[in-house]
Structure 1
């Protein structure tokens, strides 16, 4: 099975008696990232111990995320958090309707009336001068901080809350495998220059393909089918070049050890921060508990890079009947509603 097929294949149903099958699947995903690791001695047993540590951490992380929020035009008026993310109900509908992954999900699941999905966003603060009421006085040109959200992306979808969380777990295992690959590419002591170049190129290609945490929070750029096809060809060529590279067994064993170190310390590479804020209806950050403000809790995920970044995200449910018609310009379709 090819690299991308093994990374993106549909998820198997999970039960209490299927943990061993789940472990096999996750190890296969790690090997798909760096097929040379299967040349290391006892690679499955060694990877299994480390991956088990990561799965415990990942399951606790995904289990701690709040229940999915309803994401629809009506929810914009009733759910303070959804209102924080979008300026208008139309903006919400347009953002979801732009998602090719969401459209593909509904096309492949004709009986589904809704999709569970991850909504990722860029979050930033804007410092402005506004109006504030202090006692009986109205003050102008008051320094204020407004919380803003942009670049809304919907990339991972599922038929249920449980299925969505399990798919997120898969993508986080991919992220740790990618982190391990990056560590090998940076190892100048035990890998020849050509090997480092190939591994560095592989990391860059997989990141452009949107593997790992980037797929969960929508941090990778949109790519058309032609661009994705080119990336797949380049990844396949990179796989062949790595396979042709002769590396002593002891070096491959050391590479596996480095990857296992990453999976044994998942909290160093994957984490989600919580941030509680009080906002008014204009998304201005408030320090008081006035009736015009409400407290919200935001979740921000670490995106690896130099330097790493944080991106806001939320689990949501979006109804099929609010998806704008395909083949129409989204902005024009929204104006016609």
Structure 2
């Protein structure tokens, strides 16, 4: 799939009725996150143009994502991106073996030979003094930078790349709603204090549940089944408490306006970008071409929080045949005993 094929195919296959259906689906997701918006007058008519603007921007972001990388031990040796993300093929296989979402996907889809997913990673830059060959001379104490990728998280498994991109689009819309809620909770003058605190708590719970960018690139969220069940119960209680608050009709109107303002200006609130660098086989950034050097491009997303964090991510396709049984993990200590 070429970089823009996904967007071109979507636009060709999407008559007005399907575009309207996407808008309606997005509004349903928005109301699931913030049900009280239904209390505002004409909420659907007011949401539609703002949602349409968000969808157009999200489609552009998705079209900028490169095709999924074929992930696996064999692919590692020929894909410079995978070599940058994972130190060895074993590290790659271990990361995918630990992915509960991937394992659950294959359990639910016994006929699926592969899974398309997002791979989220922490990315850090390490600055050090190294050695560099310049002609026939060896230079010492040269300032250098290496890229370190870690905390690999496999998220959002789908049967096809198109399905994966569509689901990423839904999660980006969710993130915009979370940004809108954050904007509301910071406005002390427009919301009653009790409602503001409950909305703030709701945003935090939704993030813990994995709503928004966390569901795409990973990060601190409730991963275990017991944790997720606890967070879900807290969300249900939060919704009941919000429903019991009686606010002036103008307050609901202002809440809807705040959400619409964010949705109508998605580029201001969605932090997704890309970075292209030239590195060698040790992940050291190089300014010039040389033996073993190659260019890689990866995308990154900002996860709001205190403090906010940035995580790199890529689309991957992982074959069922390379999933190690039972989440087997071979660490360095075990290798020493084999």
* TM-score, length basis structure 1: 0.91
Change (3 A) 1:295 1:103: same
User: Is 2:152 the partner of 1:152?
Assistant: yes
Please report how far the alpha carbon of residue 297 of structure 1 lies from its aligned counterpart in structure 2 after TM superposition. Answer: 1.3
Question: In the alignment, which residue of structure 2 is the partner of 1:7?
Answer: none
Q: Which runs of 5+ in 1 are unaligned?
A: 1-13
Question: In the alignment, which residue of structure 2 is the partner of 1:287?
Answer: 287
Please report how far the alpha carbon of residue 327 of structure 1 lies from its aligned counterpart in structure 2 after TM superposition. Answer: 5.7
SS in 1 for 2:326: coil
CA-atom RMSD, angstroms? Answer: 2.0
My pick for the range that moved more, 230-239 or 190-199, is 190-199
Q: Where does 1:50-129 land on structure 2 (aligned, <5 Å)?
A: 50-129=50-129
Please report how far the alpha carbon of residue 219 of structure 1 lies from its aligned counterpart in structure 2 after TM superposition. Answer: 1.8
Does the 8 Å CA contact 1:298/1:312 hold for their aligned counterparts? yes
Does the 8 Å CA contact 2:210/2:222 hold for their aligned counterparts? no
Question: In the alignment, which residue of structure 2 is the partner of 1:248?
Answer: 248
Q: Distance in 1 between matches of 2:330 and 2:293?
A: 32
Please report how far the alpha carbon of residue 331 of structure 1 lies from its aligned counterpart in structure 2 after TM superposition. Answer: 4.0
Please report how far the alpha carbon of residue 21 of structure 1 lies from its aligned counterpart in structure 2 after TM superposition. Answer: 2.1
Q: Distance in 2 between matches of 1:111 and 1:252?
A: 48
Question: In the alignment, which residue of structure 2 is the partner of 1:39?
Answer: 39
Q: Distance in 2 between matches of 1:328 and 1:75?
A: 20
Q: Where does 1:117-196 land on structure 2 (aligned, <5 Å)?
A: 117-196=117-196
Question: In the alignment, which residue of structure 2 is the partner of 1:277?
Answer: 277
Q: Alignment length, in residue pairs?
A: 324
Q: Distance in 1 between matches of 2:115 and 2:281?
A: 28
Q: Distance in 2 between matches of 1:229 and 1:292?
A: 48
Q: Distance in 2 between matches of 1:298 and 1:212?
A: 20
Give deviations 1:136-188, integer Å, cap 9, x for gaps.
12334433211110111111111111100000001011111111111111110
Q: Distance in 1 between matches of 2:327 and 2:51?
A: 43
Please report how far the alpha carbon of residue 224 of structure 1 lies from its aligned counterpart in structure 2 after TM superposition. Answer: 1.3
* TM-score, length basis structure 2: 0.91
Does the 8 Å CA contact 2:94/2:329 hold for their aligned counterparts? no
Q: Distance in 2 between matches of 1:27 and 1:331?
A: 46
Q: Distance in 1 between matches of 2:163 and 2:206?
A: 24
Give deviations 1:92-147, integer Å, cap 9, x for gaps.
01111111111111111111100111001111111123222122123344332111
Q: Distance in 1 between matches of 2:41 and 2:24?
A: 17
Question: In the alignment, which residue of structure 2 is the partner of 1:11?
Answer: none
SS in 1 for 2:147: strand
Please report how far the alpha carbon of residue 275 of structure 1 lies from its aligned counterpart in structure 2 after TM superposition. Answer: 1.3
Q: Distance in 2 between matches of 1:103 and 1:308?
A: 29
Q: Distance in 2 between matches of 1:235 and 1:161?
A: 31
